[in-house]
Amino acid sequence: MRIEHNVLYLEGKLTLNTVPAIARRLGRIRRRQLLALKSVDLSGVSRVDSCGLGLIETLRDGGYRKPLPVIRASSAVEDVINTFADKPLEVMPTEPPRGFFSDGIGSGLYAIFHMLTEGLLVAGEVFAASAMSLFIPARHRKGAISEQIVQIGARGVPIVGLLSFIIGFILALQGAVQLEQFGGTPFIADLMALAMFRELAPLLTAIIVTGRTGSAMASEIGTMQVTNEIDALRAMGIRPYEYVVGPKFIAMTVVMPMLAFLSAVIGIFSGLVVSVFVAGQPARTYIDRSLNILSVEDGLLLLIKSLLFGWAIAAIAVYSGTNVEGGAVEVGKATTNAVVTTTFVVVILNVVFSLVYVL
């Protein structure tokens, strides 16, 4: 809810979960500001239930100092009001203000800011729910955490291992060709060890888990949302985040560092294959140089990166799934949005880590 130019803008969902908070905020607004209001804008409202309809009727009938006409409303909201309200909605369309910031850049920046704030709130709820699920096992289904560890971790090992070996092999092969020109073939071990631990292993693992697990998580939660399973859990007194999301988040926290470490080891092993069979270097030399170049700091970097990437995957998947409105088509869109957004966020986080580490 916001007030701009004496217009009250209501946004999001006007449901039993949100209307009380909006009513409290309206009650705290000064009398002078309420009297200055001219209209209500419902164009940003995506869903209305009986509580939301009651709030709209109160605004229209003057329950807050003076009657406020509705100047804009989405077609879905308009249909609900016309069907269930005492009097039909007489929308007075107005031309929105146009300008450099209001049309393109401003609306885009506002959408990004809104998504970030909502995403951070969801991430906080996911963290809290996961902690409750971890320390109070009764909050989730028995065996759910181990089941998710197997699903995310054990069944993801083949694809992570295969792609890590292939990419590591290509990187080592290209590096051997270039280093051989300068007599630096022994440095293949240094290249592979540092590249896999610092960059490729956590990034590659995150992208694979995003496509394999993040998409499945977003589609599962989205399907539960559109089929009202989330509401059914709340009706039974079960907290959906703790029951559904908690085990997945805990499993992601446990599995991501393991998968990233496995990816790094397999990538280094593929470099060993290239070093021995292509560059003709002794295996002992490659192993010694790999162990000597790596430090505890590199291992901690891999651990921190993989944990943050895993948390980002889970949080974005939950955010995309819980914001689904509609049917099967919207679930597909939410899944695609989750994968694209997570990939972008993971890459940006990786760039930030690289800049901080180098500088």
pLDDT given for residue 329 in this prediction: 81
Residue 347: is its pLDDT beyond 60? yes
What is the mean predicted confidence (pLDDT) over 84-111? Answer: 60
- CATH number, span 2-84: 3.30.750.24
Half-sphere exposure of residue 142: CA atoms within 13 angstroms, side-chain side? 0
For the entire predicted model, the pTM comes to 0.68
Average pLDDT estimate for 144-165: 90
- 346-355 contacts, C-beta under 8 A, 24 or more apart: 346/203, 346/206, 346/207, 346/210, 346/309, 346/312, 346/313, 347/203, 349/305, 349/308, 349/309, 349/312, 350/199, 350/202, 350/203, 350/305, 353/301, 353/304, 353/305, 354/199
For residue 135, what pLDDT band results from cuts at 50, 70 and 90? confident
CA 125 to chain centre: 13
Residue 65's pLDDT band (cuts 50, 70, 90) = low
pLDDT of residue 101: 52
Q: Specify the domain boundaries for CATH 3.30.750.24 within the chain.
A: 2-84
Quote the pLDDT of residue 110. 66
Strand order in the sheet with 70-73: 2-4, 7-14, 39-48, 70-73
Q: Look-up: residue for tokens 């920046």?
A: 109
Q: Which pLDDT score, from 0 to 100, does residue 309 have? A: 93
Asked if residue 100 has pLDDT above 60, the reply is: no
